[in-house]
Amino acid sequence: APNKNWWHHSVVYQIYPRSFFDSNGDGIGDLNGITMKLDYLKKLGVDILWLSPIYDSPNYDNGYDIRDYFQIMTEFGTMEDFDRMLEEMKRRQLKLIMDLVVNHTSDEHPWFIESKKSKDNPYRNFYHWAPGKDGKVPNRWGAAFGGPTWTYDIITGEYYLHTFTSKQPDLNWENPIVRQEVYKIMRWWLDKGVDGFRMDVINFISKVPGYPEGHVDDGRQYSDGTPYYINGPRLHEYLQEMYEQVLRHYNIVTVGECPGAHLHEAELITNPARKELDMIFTFEHMNIDGGRRQTFASVVHSGNHEGKWIPKLLDLRELKLHFTTWQKGLIGKGWNSLYWNNHDQPRIVSRWGNDSSQYRVLSAKMLGTCLHFLSGTPYVYQGEEIGMTNVRFPLLADYRDIETTNFHRDAIQSGVSLEEIMAVIYRKSRDNTRTPMQWSGSLIHGGFTNGVADVKPWINVNSNYTDINVEDALNDSSSIFYYYQKLIQLRKEMSIMVYGNYDVLHEEHMHIFMYKRFNEGIQEIIVACNFSQQSVTIDDSSLNERFKKNGRLLISNYDDNQVNNKSDWLHFRAYET
Ligand code: TEU
Ligand code: CA
């Protein structure tokens, strides 16, 4: 039987602080801005807030490049602001989880500055250094956002490893002193009273010794090093040590971000008996509508994430198979995290819903329903609760994300047309979810920045803020906001949503995702979602009879269902749930 932890029946809300609320009118969201909006979040009903990194950083990758783990980023405020924010959260019974980015640091972190100085510097082994081969890089691994994973440093004549940009050198976890330093950081924040961590690319921390060369596709400049640094040989040993030395001493929740982890790794990491982490973020479902790695025909320079840029239509059956595999695989053995969005992914309503004015609200509610009734801990990304959409900036200069601008540069160099490039950027750029939170339809910049007209936000607000904003959502009882509020509330009232078993129905259907949550012989919930714009009828008379005898409607995105008790409930209109 699963042990019943508080985070099993919690809902997490992710805040991207830079874009949440700007309290002092400098165009950048900040901690005081978060504090000012806590009542709003409380009203939504979420329990845990996860903040993307707020530590001191040169912001080459928006805080995922940390210079000082014990300081607040100046633009976000001060440690006093942090303490006040935490206190205000606690007063409202909101928990806080921090982003822990310890696969790499900023290249401006004092450890790295020391490490560069000489081969015998005490900090040398804090990072991965290797001599070149025949005057070239130690191997041809490609980095996540384009370019090589190795950068030459002239002072000692060696290369350092960075699985992301050259401004993000990877820490060397083989070095026990590095691990102790990480544990110190963790204890320091936990002792301050935070309630857990989201751990950035935590399954990258163990590298195969010797950095073996990866596979190189024909005509490619870079090889695939991921088999040698994703889910590496000592990963579980490190996580167990971290659990033993830090995590077990606190009543907290942990979620590991794990690109390239599949069910097998998830079982190992989240099985409570193994004492590692509470849950992980998988990327399997996020990769379903992209090409395979390195298949963007014309881009030969880009790094190991280029598959994401290749347009591929969603096949709902693949998505269903993904969820079904993970639900069946982890119920009773580990724990799922459930998410549609984060700061790295496009907006779900634009992605797998329909963001036209006719269907935006309906499809956003459908998607929320589909996710929240699954087993696991749901995550809501800021703006998802009002159905914010992707953005289409006219100029590349309007984009801020390093992955997007690098991709653009590499694709141009490879001769891809600007039109094709912008089309995929509109589809997949990380800036789609990084535009400012849309608080008001009548205030300049959507009310994101506090009143000062001539200060522009660090990234432009989506011009549809006049139609899509918090103010209007709160004034409309049929808004996505209140629908999410109800979904979150239901999870608190119905333990079957948290602990029920799972099975999929009509598995092969192209448009309908139908599943059940059940406690054998006691209670059953059927969740049915039409992912298409078409009307669809499901032929299933036994289910129909069963529902007519004992069933009742719990929640639906079409208002008339509430009054009709839906006699033809196996007929689905566009995006109906
Ligand atoms: O993301 C890890 C990761 O693999 C992402 O690069 C993701 O796959 C990509 O953005 C999709 O295009 C984490 C953080 O969430 C991300 O913001 C950071 O840039 C990255 O780590 C490096 O710290
Ligand atoms: Ca500010």
Long-range contacts of 408-414 (CB under 8 A, 24+ apart): 409/146, 410/146, 410/299, 410/301, 410/302, 411/296, 411/298, 411/299, 411/302, 411/309, 413/301, 414/298, 414/299, 414/300, 414/301, 414/302
Q: Is 276 designated active site?
A: no
pLDDT of 114: 98
Asked whether residue 296 carries a pLDDT value surpassing 60, the answer given is no
Picking from 277-291, 370-384, 415-429, 539-553, which range would have the lowest pLDDT averaged per residue? 539-553
Instruction: Give the mean pLDDT of 92-116.
Output: 98
Q: Of the bound ligands, which one is closest to the alpha carbon of residue 26?
A: 2
Q: Is 174 designated active site?
A: no
CA of 18 to the centre of ligand 1 (A): 16
CA of 142 to the centre of ligand 1 (A): 15
Average per-residue pLDDT for the chain:
94
Between 300 and 444, the higher pLDDT residue: 444
Between 486 and 544, the higher pLDDT residue: 486
Q: How confident is the model at residue 281 (pLDDT cuts 50, 70, 90)?
A: very high
CA of 567 to the centre of ligand 1 (A): 46
Paired sense of beta strands 279-281 and 253-257, if any: parallel
Catalytic residue selected from 47, 65, 195, 257: 257
Asked whether residue 548 carries a pLDDT value surpassing 90, the answer given is no
Catalytic residue selected from 22, 107, 200, 241: 200
User: Residues of the chain with pLDDT > 70: what percent?
Assistant: 95
Asked whether residue 352 carries a pLDDT value surpassing 90, the answer given is yes
Long-range contacts of 224-227 (CB under 8 A, 24+ apart): 224/141, 224/142, 224/293, 224/294, 224/304, 225/139, 225/141, 225/142, 225/149, 225/163, 225/304, 226/260, 226/304
Q: How confident is the model at residue 564 (pLDDT cuts 50, 70, 90)?
A: low
pLDDT of 302: 47
Which residue owns the Cα nearest ligand 1 atom 22?
Answer: 64
Q: How many CA atoms lie within 13 A of 104 on its CB side?
A: 25
Residues with C-beta less than 6 Å from any ligand 1 atom: 61, 64, 101, 144, 164, 200-201, 257, 259, 305, 308, 343-344, 403, 430
CA of 77 to the centre of ligand 2 (A): 8
Q: How confident is the model at residue 218 (pLDDT cuts 50, 70, 90)?
A: confident
Between 306 and 458, the higher pLDDT residue: 458
Q: Of the bound ligands, which one is closest to the alpha carbon of residue 259?
A: 1
Cα torsion for 191, 193, 196, 197, to the nearest 10°? -70
CA of 29 to the centre of ligand 2 (A): 5
Instruction: Give the mean pLDDT of 12-30.
Output: 97
Domain count of the fold of the chain: 1
Instruction: Give the mean pLDDT of 390-409.
Output: 96
Q: How confident is the model at residue 460 (pLDDT cuts 50, 70, 90)?
A: very high
> Closest ligand 1 atom, CA of 104?
23
Q: Of the bound ligands, which one is closest to the alpha carbon of residue 455?
A: 2
Q: Supply the DSSP string of 228-251, one letter for each residue.
A: HHSS-TTHHHHHHHHHHHTGGGS-
Residue 538 domain-assigned (yes or no): yes
How do residues 314-332 score in pLDDT, each as one tens digit?
Answer: 999 999 999 999 999 999 9
pLDDT of 560: 83
C-alpha span between 38 and 49 (Å, rounded): 10
Which residue owns the Cα nearest ligand 1 atom 6?
Answer: 144
Instruction: Give the mean pLDDT of 476-503.
Output: 97
Q: How confident is the model at residue 454 (pLDDT cuts 50, 70, 90)?
A: confident
Q: How confident is the model at residue 295 (pLDDT cuts 50, 70, 90)?
A: very low
Instruction: Give the mean pLDDT of 349-372.
Output: 98
Which residue owns the Cα nearest ligand 1 atom 7?
Answer: 344
Residue 45 domain-assigned (yes or no): no
CA of 61 to the centre of ligand 1 (A): 9
Mutate to test the pocket of ligand 1, among 18, 60, 62, 64 (most ligand atoms within 8 A of CB): 64
Instruction: Give the mean pLDDT of 301-323.
Output: 82
Paired sense of beta strands 253-257 and 196-199, if any: parallel
Q: Tell me: ipTM over 0.95.
A: yes
Between 84 and 219, the higher pLDDT residue: 84
Tell me which residue range forms the domain holding 549: 501-572
Asked whether residue 360 carries a pLDDT value surpassing 60, the answer given is yes
Give the dihedral sign, CA 414/400/198/209.
positive
Residue 53 domain-assigned (yes or no): no
Q: Of the bound ligands, which one is closest to the alpha carbon of residue 343?
A: 1
